[in-house]
Structure 1
Amino acid sequence: MDYIHLNDMEFYGYHGALPEENKLGQRFRLTVSLATDLAEAGQTDDLSKTVNYAEVYEMCKRIVEGEAVRLIETVAETIAGTIMTDFAEKVIGVRVVLVKPDPPIHGHYASVAVEIKRGRFS
Structure 2
Amino acid sequence: MEGVEDKLIVKGLSFYGHHGVLKEERTLGQKFFVDVDAWLDLKPAGISDDLSHSFSYVEIYRIAKEVIEGPPQNLLESVAQKIAIATLKSHKEISAVRVKVGKPHVAIPGPLDYLGIEILRRRSDLTE
Q: Tell me whether the two structures share a fold, i.e. TM-score over 0.5.
A: yes
1:106 deviation in Å? 2.5
Kept in 2, the 8 Å contact 1:51–1:87? The answer is: no
Match of 2:121 among 102, 118, 122: 118
1:55 deviation in Å? 1.3
Structure 2, unaligned stretches of length 5 or more?
124-128
Amino acid aligned to 2:75: L
Alignment partner of 1:91: what SS? Answer: coil
Alpha-carbon separation, structure 2, partners of 1:5 and 1:101: 21
Tell me the TM-score normalized by structure 2. 0.88
The count of residues paired between Structure 1 and Structure 2 equals: 119
Query: Aligned ranges for residues 1-16 of structure 1 at < 5 Å?
Result: 1-16=5-20
Match of 1:96 among 88, 95, 99: 99
Amino acid aligned to 2:53: K
Alpha-carbon separation, structure 2, partners of 1:52 and 1:110: 30
The match for 2:109 is: 106
Structure 1, unaligned stretches of length 5 or more?
none
RMSD: 1.2
Percent identity between matched residues is 38
Kept in 2, the 8 Å contact 1:28–1:100? The answer is: yes
Tell me the TM-score normalized by structure 1. 0.92
